[in-house]
Amino acid sequence: MTQIERHSYDVVVMGAGGAGLRAAIEARLMGKRVAIITKSLLGKAHTVMAEGGAAAAMGNVNSKDNWQVHFRDTMRGGKFLNHYRMAELHAKEAPDRIWELETYGALFDRTPDGKISQRNFGGHEYPRLAHVGDRTGLELIRTLQQKIVSLQQDDEREFGDGEKYIKVFAELAITEIFTEAGAVTGCMGYWRETGDFVAFDTAAVVLATGGIGKAYRVTSNSWEYTGDGHALAMRAGGTLVNMEFLQFHPTGMVWPPSVKGILVTESVRGDGGVLRNSEGKRFMFEYVPDVFRKQYADTEAEGDRWYSDPENNRRPPELLPRDEVARAINSEVKAGRGTPHGGVYLDVSTRLSPEQITKRLPSMYHQFKELADVDITKEPMEVGPTCHYVMGGVEVEPDTCASPYVKGLFAAGEVGGGMHGSNRLGGNSLSDLLVFGRRAGLGASEYVDSMGDKKTVIADADLESAVTDALAPLNRAGGENPYTIHSELQTVMGDLVGIIRKASEVEDALVKIGGLKTRAKNLTVEGDRIFNPGWHLALDLKNLLLISEAVAKAALIREESRGGHTRDDFPGMNPEWRQVNLICRADGDEVEVSKQALPTMPTELLSLFDVSELKKYMTEAELTALPEESN
């Protein structure tokens, strides 16, 4: 048998972004021995790319803000397909998680009276995003990382071993989660540098692996986002929910080609940036859906006044939820009103002074100056939609983040499903990481406690089988090139399961994905295991193909347009579909999709909405069943 490095921990956290680090901190505070596994280096997690801020209803800029308003905005943004309990917990707990970061040493921008500053963002009724310029994610990771280090320093002083309770395993990729009788026994992966295998015996695995963006060619996501956690959960017996919903962020760079897809933060629009087509027209006023008509300005003059007088004016439509803005940009480009490089113009130079831009948006200023030779203090940016976030993820119990089907499996952050419904509001991601990262760490710790002295060990046969599968591309000659398969998959997903979908194209995509899966069983990689990117990609493809199939199958079944899922052949929202979640399961190498009823929102939360608004989303039967005080 191939030599395997072995470790044993109470809790293994896969991912060192915001959700993973917060989960690890909570598990350590609960007295558990924790392994943090990161595919990249500590501090390089994709969370650092989150620029705008973390949404939390602290009311520092507008005292009218509270958790109820935040909950309401989140449900509206998700087109009422969110798991209400997750949205409720998030809205209630986000302020505490932000204030907690301050105790860890986070340095947020301040209001004139010294409170944490909060900025406007799309879909949020009030200024709600706590921020550090446009580098909030970087500060969040720095702060959580420093908290990890401080806990290790405490352990060094008390036990003489700083890694006694928390150890970071960097540049290590997990390829399999093992179970026995429906419960986690551990996981296995490999060191990216040497190719040597590593196994972790553990009763609890917290998935915090992020998204699936590398299934698409134009994406804001970094190289790690290959759907690892999603696929590992499915193969372990877990389920995925809402996989048809992908967020194409409306503003990614479109030029030069080498940087196409890199994120342009929503903070640009939150701070007054406007969108114009090639004719110079602010086109977003033509794309305000009826469900948002009351909240958004219908003239440029009113939209402009909102920045200085939000009490008496409605917000500009540039601040609609991301799915609406992305579809509008896509429509303008298709209609021939796009920029020379296939986007639209985003201009903040007419609203803010150069000094204000370089202070509030320093990353954007340097990004465009260095990568595109564009000075955003003087000229507009060219932007267009880029695959940014998957609302779908592992189905979990809201309070514990535990899989209802696999004991000992937990998920938080982007890999967890349900919180955002059909579309995520900007800024809700960073606070989501903190709220549910903490809950996942707590849930995993309590699960370990419930097991008493029972120890879990991976079966030798399971390890041997996983090693054989992982080595197969290196031991096979004359097979397929993983880079070719990956490139073809990205073309299929971008062309056929992209921002606008229709049945014939998605059906074609599924046929092509099936063909790619067959070819991927015959992958060949040259060389050996020592830092071999081709081998790494070959192992990632197993995840990418499974998740791409889940996205496409769910997209074909949902015959409506809602949030991050737009069907050209079913252009409107259907209230019957609002009652349905699509659940993806793995059946061997295939994906099975079934329908499941959406959890029913309790009366006290429904009462936060006017019936006139609920009529836009609910069936007649649901409206009739509403209590009298809501009618």
| Phi and psi based region of residue 430 (left: phi greater than 0; alpha: psi -120 to 50; beta: remaining) | alpha
142 as an active site residue: the answer is no
User: How far from the centroid of its chain's Cα atoms is residue 387's Cα?
Assistant: 11
Residue 572: exposure state from Cβ atoms within 10 A (0-12, 13-18, ≥19): exposed
The CA R_g of the chain, rounded to the nearest whole Å, is: 24
Tokens matching residue 288: 């305000």
Q: How many CB atoms are closer than 10 A to CB 559?
A: 12
Measure the CA–CA gap between 204 and 415, rounded to whole angstroms. 16
Q: How many CB atoms are closer than 10 A to CB 475?
A: 9
Measure the CA–CA gap between 231 and 558, rounded to whole angstroms. 21
Among the listed residues 269, 5, 246, 303, the one whose alpha carbon sits nearest the alpha carbon of residue 134: 269
The catalytic residue among 70, 83, 269, 424 is 269
Rounded to 5 degrees, what are φ and ψ at 387?
A: -60, 120
DSSP 600-614: PPPHHHHTTS-HHHH
Q: ∠ CA 429-563-18 to the nearest 5 degrees?
A: 10
Residue with tokens 């059909």: 422
Strand order, beta sheet including 344-347:
246-253, 381-390, 344-347, 274-276
Tokens matching residue 157: 């002083």
Do the beta carbons of residue 179 and residue 347 sit within 8 Å? no
Strands 393-394 and 240-241 turn out to be antiparallel
Residue with tokens 């069983």: 521
Helical packing angle, 482-496 and 503-520, nearest 10° = 170
Measure the CA–CA gap between 137 and 21, rounded to whole angstroms. 13
Tokens matching residue 155: 């352990």
Tokens matching residue 190: 């490999």
Strands 166-170 and 34-38 turn out to be parallel
The catalytic residue among 249, 322, 388, 439 is 249
Three-state helix/strand/coil letters over 474-505: HHCCCCECHHHHHHHHHHHHHHHCCCCECHHH
Among the listed residues 86, 1, 37, the one whose alpha carbon sits nearest the alpha carbon of residue 206: 37
Strand order, beta sheet including 393-394:
393-394, 240-241, 580-587, 590-597
Rounded to 5 degrees, what are φ and ψ at 225?
A: -85, 75
Do the beta carbons of residue 611 and residue 623 sit within 8 Å? yes
DSSP conformational letter for 398: T
User: How far from the centroid of its chain's Cα atoms is residue 263's Cα?
Assistant: 14
Do the beta carbons of residue 208 and residue 440 sit within 8 Å? yes
Among the listed residues 437, 608, 563, the one whose alpha carbon sits nearest the alpha carbon of residue 84: 608
User: How far from the centroid of its chain's Cα atoms is residue 429's Cα?
Assistant: 7
Residue with tokens 């006290």: 604
486 as an active site residue: the answer is no
Measure the CA–CA gap between 20 and 16, rounded to whole angstroms. 5
Active site residues: 249, 269
